[in-house]
Structure formats: C-alpha cells, structure tokens
Amino acid sequence: MKQDKELDTDFGVRSLDAVCINESRLAHKWYHNFKYLFVGMLFGVVLVKAEIISWVRIQEMFRLQSFHMYGVIGSAVAVGIISVWLIKRFKIKTIYGEPVKFHPKQFSKGQIYGGLIFGFGWAITGACPGPLFAQMGSGATVVLVTLLSAVAGTWVYGLLRDKLPH
C-alpha cells in the first residue's frame, strides 16, 4: 500500500511537468535512442548558427533592439501550431504506428513565480537550458559551471517544492 501511495505521489509530481510523461508501451532496444541524438544535433546546429545561444542576441531581445529572436520564436511557434494541428486533424501516427499523445498542462502559480525567476536567469546568463548544452559544445567550456549551477537550482527546487506556493 505504501508503495502504491509513493507511485501516486510520483505521478502527481510528474504530471505537473513539461515532458515527464512519455510513456510508450512499446519497448525499444537501446539503439533506438540514436534518433533523438540525431534530432538533438540538428537542433544544436540551428541554435548555434542562428546565434540563439549568443548572450548579446538575448540582451538585444530584452531591450527591443532586434527583431531576430522574436522572429525565431514566433515562426517556431507558428510551425509548431500548424504541425500539431495537422497531426490531430489527420490523426497522424508515430513511425511505430502508435497514436500521438498530447499532455495538457495544468495551471499552477509556479508558472508565474518560476517563470519570472527563469526570466531573470535567462537575461543574466543569456541562455535557456538548451543553449547551455550548445554553448559548451561550441567551445565555451566555462558554461559547464552555469550548467552545474542550473542542476543545483533544479535540485534545490525539488528539495523545497512542498514549501513553495503552487
């Protein structure tokens, strides 16, 4: 019984999260993960080449001195909305023939408080989590410190979670 309760807690915790529910009932061999490595690589190349990982571009964005980042995010969202609509409209299946699942997000005050806190960090470091990995790859080894600090921040959130307003 205790075990069940813990599992429940875990699900409650996970359902609040951005990507944590990715239950596929299909079991895959380890090498199936290579496709994510490949998509990640393409994504990383785009982050570098469009200068999305540039600290200065982020400063320009937050000072309304350049349209670049708004164009990137806006067109990405537009393509994302159309893609998701097409997948839903035509019930497009995954390459394994499974129906595509979407996970509605629940509102919590964390999206405001946490969102503001992340916004502060984004403007200071000039990077959101994805660019941290790409910056390190492109040779800025010191960003490892920023990444470890971000892991520490995530850990402290996990520690304090019950005491924070949600």
Partner 1 sequence: MMEILRQPWPWYIAGPLIGLTVPALLLIGNKSFGISSSLRHICAACIPANIPFFRYEWRKETWNLVFVAGIFLGGMLAAAFFNNPQPVRVNPALVAELSQYGITDFKGLVPHDLMSWSSLFTLRGMIIMVAGGFLVGFGTRYAGGCTSGHAIMGLSNLQFPSLVATFSFIVGGFLMANLLLPFILSI
**Ranges within 65-84 binding partner 1 (CB under 8 A):** 65-81, 83-84
Give the residue from 150, 95, 152 showing the smallest Cα distance to 128: 150
Residue from 2, 29, 42, 163 in contact with partner 1 (CB under 8 A): 42
Binding to partner 1 by residue 34, rule CB under 8 A? yes
Chain positions 98 to 157 lying near partner 1, rule: CB under 8 A, are 98, 100-108, 110-130, 132-143, 145-157
Number of residues forming the site for partner 1 (CB under 8 A): 132
Alpha carbon separation from 25 to 34, 80, 108 (Å, rounded): 19, 25, 29
Residue 63 interacts with partner 1 (CB under 8 A)? Answer: yes
Instruction: Establish if 8 lies at the interface with partner 1 (CB under 8 A).
Output: no
How many residues appear in the chain? Answer: 166
Q: How far is the CB of 55 from partner 1 (least distance, A)?
A: 6
Residue whose CB is less far from partner 1, 1 or 37: 37
Considering only CA atoms, give the Rg of the chain: 19
Residue 58: Cβ-neighbour burial (10 angstroms; 0-12, 13-18, 19+)? buried
